[in-house]
């Protein structure tokens, strides 16, 4: 059988098609609601770099211009969340143009983005700056709220 990702497929749900239904998700564990069972949003990250610039080169030049040898030396000056966080994509509109931020704010967001992948923030890992990591816009959530 030949499957294509571009065409819809029907799968057997275990019953006749008259018993199938659609469910829409109307709640999430990742939100800002108070109370148990919710992971509170702590931070929203996202930088918008000039169209003609490479984000990694831009941040490395900014780091050097502010007297830091590397991202790890700048990281030591920050008070960062000490434990892992959950990440989810944030809308493009949440990105801050780097021209509207001071160097400290840009570098702090860059360090946080460098400690994240698409799913989580990992404070124990080294800061990794790539075009992909610096181009993400993310919401960071505290998973501890789920267990309270």
8 domain-assigned: no
> Regarding beta strands 85-89 and 137-141, do their DSSP bridges make them parallel or antiparallel, or are they unpaired?
antiparallel
105 domain-assigned: yes
62 domain-assigned: yes
Number of domains in the chain: 1
73 domain-assigned: yes
Alpha-carbon distance values, 134 to 117, 126, 129 (Å): 10, 15, 6
4 domain-assigned: no
Distance CA 35, CA 43 (A): 19
The phi and psi torsions of 86 (rounded to 5 degrees) equal -95, 135
Would you say the pTM of this structure is higher than 0.85? no
133 domain-assigned: yes
Residue 126's domain comprises: 38-147
140 domain-assigned: yes
Q: What is the pLDDT along the chain (148 residues), one digit of tens a residue?
A: 455 555 565 665 666 666 666 777 665 666 655 555 667 888 999 999 999 999 999 999 999 999 999 999 999 999 999 999 999 999 999 999 999 999 999 999 999 999 999 999 999 999 999 999 999 999 998 887 655 5
Identify any residues that bridge with 140 across adjacent strands, giving them in sequence order: 43, 87
């Amino acid at each position: 059988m030949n499957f294509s990702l571009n065409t819809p497929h029907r799968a057997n749900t275990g019953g006749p098609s008259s018993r199938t239904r659609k469910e829409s998700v109307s709640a999430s564990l990742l939100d800002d609601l108070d109370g148990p069972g919710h992971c509170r949003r702590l931070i929203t990250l996202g930088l918008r770099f000039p169209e003609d610039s490479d984000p990694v080169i831009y941040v490395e030049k900014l780091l050097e211009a502010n007297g830091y040898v590397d991202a790890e030396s700048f990281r030591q000056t920050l008070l960062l969340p000490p434990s892992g966080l959950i990440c989810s994509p944030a809308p493009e509109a949440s990105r801050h143009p780097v021209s509207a931020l001071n160097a400290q704010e840009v570098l702090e967001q860059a360090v946080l983005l460098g400690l994240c992948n698409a799913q989580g923030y990992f404070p124990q890992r080294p800061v990794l700056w790539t075009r992909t990591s610096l181009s993400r816009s993310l919401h960071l959530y505290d998973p501890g709220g789920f267990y309270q």
